[in-house]
Structure 1
Amino acid sequence: MTKGDISVGQRDEVRKLGFLLIDDFALMSFASAIEPFRAANVLAGRSLYEWVAIGVHRNGAAASAGLLVQTQHLVGADLDLDTLFVCAGGNPAEFADEATLQWLRRLARRGVRIGGVSGGPFILARAGLLDGHRCTIHWEHVPAFRESFPQLTLRCSLYEIDRDRLTCAGGIAALDMMHALIAAEQGRVLADKVSDWFLQTDIRLGTGAQRRSLQERYDTANAHLLTALELIEGHVERPMKRRALAQAAGISVRQLERLFAHHLDTTLDGHYREVRLERARTLLRQTAMPIAEVGLASGFQSASHFSRQFKERFGHAPLQERPIKVKTKIRSGRVDR
């Protein structure tokens, strides 16, 4: 983060924050986002931050763990805010409440800084608030986000602070982003104290990776295999040929097959197919793309072949993977009813 990313404000002013909680939000992400500001107040011995919880419905907001969080205001309220964070989880691609989207746009026009946590960036993108800004989102939502908003500059980072837009991948990454905000607004000494308060001994930069490395995920240090795994994950829509994969990994196809069998207990084709089917499953759950398009986006050349492979792997047809709520067709960030 540079000084151009966020302005350093007057440290004696109380900053007013809003947290818009979308049903199925993750408590971990919400707590990681709000608790650093409480700690800053306690450690500073005065009120540096004030906050309110905002809901879409009058009966509060339901977290993914089933707990109901009481909210003080409803979407549409005329609130005096410096920053609003949208906290969402579950399947944010389903959220298309126009009243909420319009309210977010009004706040942005008034100069309120807008942030999204975990699945929150999906809702910001749906409102058109991320156009021309860097952004990030939880890795689980990346495939659906890219399909829905191909025009946006998405980075698979922990958090992004780009002028008046703040996006965070969620989970404990919110602690890292809030450390950066508190450091910019109140000074690094207090921000470091807040991190110590939460036993956060490793403060990560926004550019950090969201997931463990391939080496850790697959428990292998074989450079040839890791090269192939990276290429497979990066070429889902247009799968690479076996020979091209082996060539890029610097070994023969037979040697590469042996590595997959020895280290992953599967075949090269079997692993590639698994990666593509998991991508398809994510798109089915988080977008309203036609099933044939989901198949194409996952590297299958025909709908019939895709359906057969999917049913063989998961035991049911692709249509049965669809959540009941997905009834709208989403294309390039617009919802067509």
Structure 2
Amino acid sequence: MKTDAPRKVGFLLIPSFSLLSYASAVEPLRAANRVSGRSLYTWRHVSGQGRPIEASSGLAIAADHAIGDDVDLDMLLVCAGGNPALHRNARTLSWLRKLARRGVRIGGVSGGPYILARAGLLDGYRCTIHWEHMAGFREEFPQLDTRRTLYEIDRHRLTCAGGIAGFDMMRAIIAAEHGSALAAAVSEWFLQTQLRSGSGPQRLTLRERYGVAHPKLLEALKAMEDRTQKPLSRNELAAATALSVRQLERLFANHLGTTIGDLYLKIRLDRARTLVHETALPLLEIAIACGFANGSHFSRAYRARYGQSPRRDRDAIREPE
């Protein structure tokens, strides 16, 4: 949809937002103006009280407005990082709902979709969120159509997993509003020579993440990541890869420098910690969801890995709003 009037974009910055995610969303707009030689986009910044807001890096961005101000916008993007599951400010949620009722296009970047979901603005829409928040997000909002994609544009809702995926989403918006030629010029301006669609994966492949290429080892790693609630035994993993337990253990030792048991425990505990931080699930439910027979076993393993019990770890991040 092409238009001659500048599109007015707002950025609602939540404390500890990711500077890279924000920059990936705003810089394509600046480039579109520069490359086209026209003022296609203008943007404003919003914070809780209208004061400068700090990114996770400590750099502060000056705000033009406070939440609740009567701001004339075509689109608002909520940029959040850190642990967005903690953000429950009723004033913020009410303001977002008010903008949505006015027809403003609402989006979330990185952890921003968490806040949109809590405001009830993603019901009936496709959405995505950063993979780090995915487990907790799906636990809290099981009714949503959540995808493991880079970004989703569904009518008046936009969600982006964050990082450099914000650039991909904004490029798609520029193409829809001002044509593919301008979008391509923006990509070239930033030396982006490989275009990514919204349906692209968020994470590196197992081969890239673990730095291994052995096909049997990759089969075992996939099975371990897929089965955290009911972990497979060493015998079951070996059978799934058509190897003996001894052969499989040798692969883990030679290629990963660890044992099957130690790596499987790490995978399960990492998932558990995400649920501890980003959900209100009882700790016993988290223990069972991550393959622990009882709470005491879970607590001991958790303390050994992270230096404190899951309860203390949860309490430590429950900062005042």
TM-score (norm 2): 0.95
**DSSP 3-state at the match of 2:148:** coil
- Spell out, residue by residue over 1:80-104, the C-alpha distance to the aligned partner (whole angstroms, 9 max, x if none): 2111100000000000001111111
TM-superposed CA distance for 1:118, in Å, is: 0.5
Alignment length (residue pairs): 320
Q: Which residue of 2 aligns with 1:153?
A: 145
Provide the rounded CA distance (Å) in 2 between the counterparts of 1:258 and 1:135: 41
Q: Would the alpha carbon gap of residues 203 and 323 (structure 1) be closer, same or farther in structure 2, given more than 3 Å must change? A: farther
Provide the rounded CA distance (Å) in 1 between the counterparts of 2:173 and 2:44: 18
Which of 248, 261, 277 does residue 256 from structure 1 map onto? 248
Q: Would the alpha carbon gap of residues 323 and 44 (structure 1) be closer, same or farther in structure 2, given more than 3 Å must change? A: farther
TM-superposed CA distance for 1:204, in Å, is: 0.8
Which of 248, 264, 268 does residue 272 from structure 1 map onto? 264
State the identity as a percent: 57
**DSSP 3-state at the match of 2:142:** coil
Q: Which residue of 2 aligns with 1:217?
A: 209
- Spell out, residue by residue over 1:113-150, the C-alpha distance to the aligned partner (whole angstroms, 9 max, x if none): 11100000111111111112111111111121122112
Q: Which residue of 2 aligns with 1:49?
A: 41
- Gapped regions of structure 1 (runs ≥ 5): 1-8, 329-337
Q: Which residue of 1 aligns with 2:219?
A: 227
Q: Would the alpha carbon gap of residues 164 and 117 (structure 1) be closer, same or farther in structure 2, given more than 3 Å must change? A: same
TM-superposed CA distance for 1:225, in Å, is: 1.1
2:50–2:67 CA contact under 8 A, matched in 1: no
TM-superposed CA distance for 1:213, in Å, is: 0.9
Which of 275, 284, 304 does residue 312 from structure 1 map onto? 304
Paired AA for residue 120 in structure 1: G
Residue 176, structure 1, aligned to residue 168, structure 2? yes
Spell out the pairing of 1:271-310 with structure 2 (5 A cutoff). 271-310=263-302
**DSSP 3-state at the match of 1:19:** strand
Q: Which residue of 2 aligns with 1:4?
A: none
Please, which moves more after superposition, 66-75 or 256-265?
A: 256-265
1:288–1:327 CA contact under 8 A, matched in 2: no
Residue 102, structure 1, aligned to residue 106, structure 2? no
Provide the rounded CA distance (Å) in 2 between the counterparts of 1:12 and 1:327: 45
2:168–2:195 CA contact under 8 A, matched in 1: yes
Q: Which residue of 2 aligns with 1:335?
A: none
Cα RMSD of the aligned pairs, angstroms, is 1.6
TM-superposed CA distance for 1:275, in Å, is: 0.5
Provide the rounded CA distance (Å) in 1 between the counterparts of 2:91 and 2:251: 54
Provide the rounded CA distance (Å) in 1 between the counterparts of 2:319 and 2:52: 25
Provide the rounded CA distance (Å) in 2 between the counterparts of 1:229 and 1:288: 29
Please, which moves more after superposition, 18-27 or 224-233?
A: 224-233
Provide the rounded CA distance (Å) in 1 between the counterparts of 2:227 and 2:132: 17
Q: Would the alpha carbon gap of residues 325 and 260 (structure 1) be closer, same or farther in structure 2, given more than 3 Å must change? A: closer
Q: Would the alpha carbon gap of residues 264 and 325 (structure 1) be closer, same or farther in structure 2, given more than 3 Å must change? A: closer
Provide the rounded CA distance (Å) in 2 between the counterparts of 1:240 and 1:145: 26
**DSSP 3-state at the match of 1:192:** helix
Which of 70, 83, 86 does residue 78 from structure 1 map onto? 70
Spell out the pairing of 1:191-210 with structure 2 (5 A cutoff). 191-210=183-202
Residue 89, structure 1, aligned to residue 66, structure 2? no
Provide the rounded CA distance (Å) in 1 between the counterparts of 2:256 and 2:21: 32
Please, which moves more after superposition, 152-161 or 17-26?
A: 152-161
TM-superposed CA distance for 1:325, in Å, is: 5.0
**DSSP 3-state at the match of 2:166:** helix
- Gapped regions of structure 2 (runs ≥ 5): none
TM-superposed CA distance for 1:112, in Å, is: 1.3
**DSSP 3-state at the match of 1:37:** helix
Paired AA for residue 39 in structure 1: A
TM-score (norm 1): 0.91
Residue 126, structure 1, aligned to residue 133, structure 2? no
- Spell out, residue by residue over 1:152-187, the C-alpha distance to the aligned partner (whole angstroms, 9 max, x if none): 122111111112111111111111111111011000
Provide the rounded CA distance (Å) in 2 between the counterparts of 1:246 and 1:151: 36
Residue 59, structure 1, aligned to residue 51, structure 2? yes
